[in-house]
């Protein structure tokens, strides 16, 4: 999987406006209704991540989820990060 250059990252970020670039990562926060709802979201994300074999860093703080995506094997941002970001957005929207 090839690293995306800055213009490609900007293009792809436009499709996932909840996400922000921070160096070699993209980040977003999801606020769930309560703690069990937050864990259910994490569970749904885990299923999608496993399908892609691409896994976010997830910081769970009560009902707030802090998600970080980067392609560790490539040392930066690749298409996989944006594919998973879009799936996470669908999960968050449906929660």
What does the binding site for ligand H2B look like in residue numbers (CB under 6 A)? 53-55, 70-73
* 6 vs 73 by CB, closer to ligand H2B: 73
Torsion over CA of 63, 75, 87 and 14, rounded to 10 degrees? 100
Positions of E strands within 36-94: 57-61, 64-69
For the chain, the distance separating the N- and C-terminal CA atoms, rounded to the nearest angstrom, is 30
Q: How far is the CB of 71 from ligand H2B (least distance, A)?
A: 5
Q: How far is the CB of 33 from ligand H2B (least distance, A)?
A: 27
Q: How far is the CB of 36 from ligand H2B (least distance, A)?
A: 26
């Amino acid at each position: 999987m090839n690293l995306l250059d800055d213009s490609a990252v900007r293009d792809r970020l436009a499709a996932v406006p909840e996400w922000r670039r921070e160096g070699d990562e993209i980040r977003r926060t999801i606020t769930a209704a309560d703690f069990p709802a937050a864990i259910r979201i994490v569970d749904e994300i885990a299923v999608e991540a496993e399908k892609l074999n691409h896994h976010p860093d997830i910081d769970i703080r009560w009902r707030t989820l802090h998600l970080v995506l980067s392609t560790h094997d490539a040392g930066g941002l690749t298409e996989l990060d944006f594919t998973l970001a879009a799936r996470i957005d669908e999960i968050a929207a449906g929660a």
